[in-house]
Amino acid sequence: MLGTDINPLLNKPFVEFVADQAGREIFVNHLNWVLHKQSTLKCEINLTGQDGSIICGQLQSVAINAGNRNGIAVLTSIVDVTVRRQLEERLQKANDELDLRVRERNEELSQANERLSREIEERRKAEESLSNAYAEIKELKDRLQAENIYLQQDIDREYNFGEIIGRSSALDYIFFRVEQVAPQDTTVLLLGETGTGKGVVARALHSRSTRKDRPMVTVHCTSLPANLIESELFGREKGAFTGSNDRQMGRFELADGGTIFLDEIGEMPMELQTKLLRVIQDGEFERLGSPRTIKVNVRIIAATNRNLEEEIRHGRFREDLFYRLNVFPITVPPLRKRKEDIPLLVNYFVSKFCKKTGKTIETVSKDVLNNLEGYHWPGNVRELESVIERAVITSPGTALHLLDRFENPPRREAIDEVQGVKALDELEQEHIIQVLKKTNWRIEGERGAALILGLNPSTLRGRMRKFGIRRS
């Protein structure tokens, strides 16, 4: 093993062949442990060969009874494990190199995975942003289409006249109030009898406001069916109810950034007044069939020919909604309180209907004007417009002739004073209530009140709203 003859080794301490001091200490400790434990033990030490090479030897020692005066002896054998050690070292080195490569590769894969994850996240965000942009474009497209449809309908609708016409002191005050509030976003409540021109005042408010470049969307609360008014105001999702095959944007969405005119607000059903109150307070609502909250920025102008305070006392209008709407009230005067404006209005309507019919009316006599000014005009400007249109059509020459007979009816108070006589509206109201009680307040169906009264169910509901009939 050491590459030398046996003779030089005889009687020579084994420890001298150990290659280093650490090995000598290991060898001595090994022998002591064998003697102490008196068991077989192993250890490895490096030896120095004849040629100076290092040999790894594995010692195995056992304590034995020498059978002489020396007592206990140690018998040791040694095996050359240099090749094995070299192989183990090479294997360990190979393992270390493999571990290093694995760690390096893992690091590369981890970095690549992070880059890929970042790229995927960036792509996801880009796709999400693109999807949001597409959805926004689609929504804007839908809104523009809906606005175009509504504006086209609005253009086709026949208005009373384009601007407020008159020079009376009553109208001067209206002009003053309009100029005061038009530039603001304040909610305006227009009060006055039917036909006084509240819609014209609403358009004047919008045209003088900062929102004039956006549409003014008009909602006629009396013309919308009770079962559709909510979807018309706030929109609906596809499939929100039977027959709703398409998604529809509501009037409030169409008016976003502009003005919404709620005409005859006093006719709005109680169940919708709460939702309207939320829109006024928070500027948000949900479409029918959708949980998503939509926020809008809308200026609200409302109009009514009813006494809302009286409606509140009868439980037909919410008090909190009234105070939200009654921020800046404007009362449009009836035509009988601005009779000095009648000649101007007559000239305007004559010119308008001459263009429409192709006729030529050049003169309006003093008697005709006196006749018109002496009438009390319960239908106000709208009634005057109808009278002038009929007159233009039927006048045979260039002078305006009136076929209508104007007689001021007796006062309502005088009628009510007649003993035992009730107004037709009151009789109709009582009859509807009696039939509803007999049908246990069932409206539709074979046993419903609508069939007994010979009315369409929606018409009956409209009459009930008109008279304020509710099941107690």
CA separation for the pair 90, 275 (Å, rounded): 83
Q: What's the angle, vertex CA 213, arms to CA 211 and CA 218, rounded to 5?
A: 70
Task: Kindly report, as residue ranges, where domains of CATH 1.10.8.60 are found in the chain.
Answer: 341-394
User: What is the mean pLDDT of the segment spanning 414-441?
Assistant: 69
What is the rounded average pLDDT for all residues in the chain?
A: 84
Q: Is 361 helix (H, G, I), strand (E, B) or coil?
A: coil
CATH for 169-333? Answer: 3.40.50.300
At 120 the pLDDT is 92
Supply the DSSP symbol for 38.
Answer: T
At 403 the pLDDT is 79
At 242 the pLDDT is 52
- What architecture (CATH level 2) is domain 341-394? Orthogonal Bundle (1.10)
Percentage of the chain exceeding pLDDT 90: 31
pLDDT tens string 255-286: 999 999 999 999 888 888 888 888 888 888 88
Q: Is 207 helix (H, G, I), strand (E, B) or coil?
A: helix
47: left (phi over 0), alpha (psi -120 to 50) or beta: beta
pLDDT tens string 63-87: 888 666 667 788 999 999 888 888 8
Contact 294, 287 (CB under 8 A): yes
Task: Kindly report, as residue ranges, where domains of CATH 1.10.10 are found in the chain.
Answer: 419-467
Q: Say whether pLDDT at 159 is over 80.
A: no
Give the domain 419-467 fold: Arc Repressor Mutant, subunit A (1.10.10)
Query: What would the DSSP string read from start to end of 294-354?
Result: EE---EEEEEESS-HHHHHHTTSS-HHHHHHHTTEEEEPPPGGG-GGGHHHHHHHHHHHHH
Distance set, CA 98 to CA 93, 101, 102, 165, 209 (Å): 8, 5, 6, 97, 79
Task: Kindly report, as residue ranges, where domains of CATH 3.40.50.300 are found in the chain.
Answer: 169-333
At 271 the pLDDT is 81
Q: Which tokens sit at 452?
A: 């007994």
Which H or E run contains 170? helix 169-181
Which H or E run contains 260? strand 259-263
Residue 198's pLDDT band, with cuts at 50, 70 and 90, is very high
> Which residue type sits at 249?
M
Task: Kindly report, as residue ranges, where domains of CATH 3.30.450.20 are found in the chain.
Answer: 7-80
Selected residue with higher pLDDT from 389 and 466? 389
> Which residue type sits at 376?
H
Q: Say whether pLDDT at 328 is over 80.
A: yes
pLDDT tens string 365-422: 898 899 999 899 998 998 999 999 999 999 888 899 887 777 655 444 444 444 444 5
- What architecture (CATH level 2) is domain 7-80? 2-Layer Sandwich (3.30)
Which H or E run contains 180? helix 169-181
Contact 39, 46 (CB under 8 A): no
At 286 the pLDDT is 84
